[in-house]
């Protein structure tokens, strides 16, 4: 073979090894960012590491399984002690709930009433904190209240506000009405504000004990311009039988104590305004 007949040597393409191709390296960097900032976002991590958002989500799932972080909508926050979600299987009676954390509930109720002085129509859910809020709301002569709480209706004897109560089957201990008749009665209405009580609040959303009351709670949330949850701090990181809604379906949370840092970050990411009602001795 002559020199001119020599087989050409192909160009060797050199592949640059990306520093974040390893999931271990990415996850180590994510932990550093969490320690520095307390929160990371999937979209920003994907750009930083030059990988897909799906890859980042897989990393975060794996890190959450190791209890290194807690995933939130669109990202993750640093895991904290006390972030474990508690499951409540038994619904306490109304009187027991009313007495539990009573001072906090009084403060939340008062703050809620102040918040809606300009509203014309209000959907009022059943529950101990919403019951206390009704005692303030009943004195607003301009306000029309729609509720399924017979307790609230019973206390409206000296009220200035106008009250409509949904018909239907009554839950005796809760003294609430519900079922298809109640849903039909309120389903054509639109409310300025809805006050909804819950049994628990976690990163996954809000919860309630009773599936009988759940449909009206969801109706209140879906048919109101401003969706407000009344929830004292003892209900943070607790869940029960019925998942009512995601956090993205809520506008305002009224409570008496700042949520834990991780939960606060999740609420902020969901664009929820958190109002802390000052608690006074009673």
DSSP per-residue codes, 141-200:
TT-EEEE-BHHHHHTGGG-SSEEEE--SEEETTTTEEESHHHHHHHTT--EEEEEEE-SE
Burial class (CB within 10 angstroms; exposed 0-12, middle 13-18, buried 19+) of 144: middle
Q: What is the mean pLDDT of residues 244-266?
A: 92
pLDDT, tens digit, 9 for 90 and up, residues 174-220: 999 999 999 999 999 999 999 999 999 998 899 999 988 999 999 99
Could you give the CA distance from residue 104 to residue 108 in angstroms, rounded to a whole number?
6
Three-state secondary structure call for residue 12: coil
Read off the pLDDT band of 236 (50, 70, 90): very high
Does residue 254 share a domain with residue 210?
yes
Does one domain contain both 118 and 40? no
The pLDDT, as a whole number, for residue 36 is: 78
d(CA 166, CA 168): 7
Mean pLDDT rounded to a whole number for the chain: 89
Residues 6+ apart with CB under 8 A from 151: 94, 126, 131, 175
231's tokens: 């929830």
Among residues 46, 78, 110, the one where a domain terminates is: 78
For residue 35, the SS3 value is helix
Instruction: Specify if 5 maps to a domain.
Output: no
Cβ atoms of 132 and 106 within 8 Å: the answer is yes
**Are residues 52 and 26 in contact, defined by beta-carbon separation less than 8 angstroms?**
no
User: Does 16 fall in a domain?
Assistant: no
Percent of the chain with pLDDT over 70: 90
Among 78, 99, 121, identify where a domain stops: 78
Domain residues for the domain of 48 are 23-78
CB burial string 172-181: b at 16+ within 10 A, e below: eebbbbbbee
What is the radius of gyration, based on Cα positions, of the chain?
26
- Burial class from Cβ neighbours inside 10 Å (0-12, 13-18, 19+) for residue 6 reads exposed
Categorize the per-residue pLDDT at 5 as very low, low, confident or very high, splitting at 50, 70 and 90: low
| 42: in domain | yes
Domain check: are 38 and 91 in the same one? Answer: no
Residue 252: C-alpha distances to residues 26, 103, 195, 276 (Å): 35, 20, 10, 11
Q: How many domains does the chain have?
A: 2
Intra-chain end-to-end CA distance of the chain, in Å: 104
Share of the chain above pLDDT 90, in %: 66
Query: Rounded to whole angstroms, what are the CA distances from 237 to 13, 80, 151, 163?
Result: 54, 12, 28, 34
Token output for 165: 């109560």
Q: Provide the CATH number for the domain around residue 48.
A: 1.10.10.10
Model pTM score: 0.75
What is the band of 68 on the pLDDT scale with cuts at 50, 70, 90? confident
């Amino acid at each position: 073979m002559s020199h001119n007949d020599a087989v050409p040597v192909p160009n060797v393409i050199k592949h640059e090894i990306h520093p974040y191709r390893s999931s271990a390296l990415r996850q180590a960097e994510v932990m550093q960012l969490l320690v520095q900032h307390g929160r990371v976002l999937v979209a920003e991590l994907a750009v930083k590491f030059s990988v897909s958002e799906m890859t980042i989500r897989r990393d975060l799932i794996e890190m959450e399984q190791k209890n290194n972080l807690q995933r939130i909508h669109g990202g993750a926050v640093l895991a904290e002690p006390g972030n474990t979600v508690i499951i409540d299987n038994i619904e306490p009676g109304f009187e027991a709930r009313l007495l539990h954390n009573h001072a906090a509930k009084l403060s939340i109720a008062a703050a809620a009433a102040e918040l809606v002085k300009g509203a014309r129509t209000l959907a009022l859910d059943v529950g101990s904190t919403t019951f206390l809020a009704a005692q303030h709301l009943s004195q607003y002569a301009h306000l029309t209240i729609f509720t399924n709480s017979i307790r609230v209706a019973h206390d409206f004897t000296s009220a200035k506000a106008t009250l409509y109560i949904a018909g239907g089957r009554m839950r005796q201990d809760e003294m609430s009405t519900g079922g298809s008749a109640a849903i039909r009665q309120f389903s054509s209405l639109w409310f300025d504000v809805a006050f909804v009580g819950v049994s628990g609040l976690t990163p996954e959303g809000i919860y309630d004990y009773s599936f009988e009351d759940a449909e009206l709670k969801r109706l209140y949330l879906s048919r109101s311009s401003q969706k407000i949850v009344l929830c004292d701090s003892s209900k943070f990181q607790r869940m029960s039988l019925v998942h009512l809604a995601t956090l993205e379906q809520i506008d305002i949370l009224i409570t008496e104590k700042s949520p834990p840092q991780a939960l606060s970050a999740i609420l902020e990411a969901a664009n929820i305004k958190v109002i802390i009602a000052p608690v006074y001795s009673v």
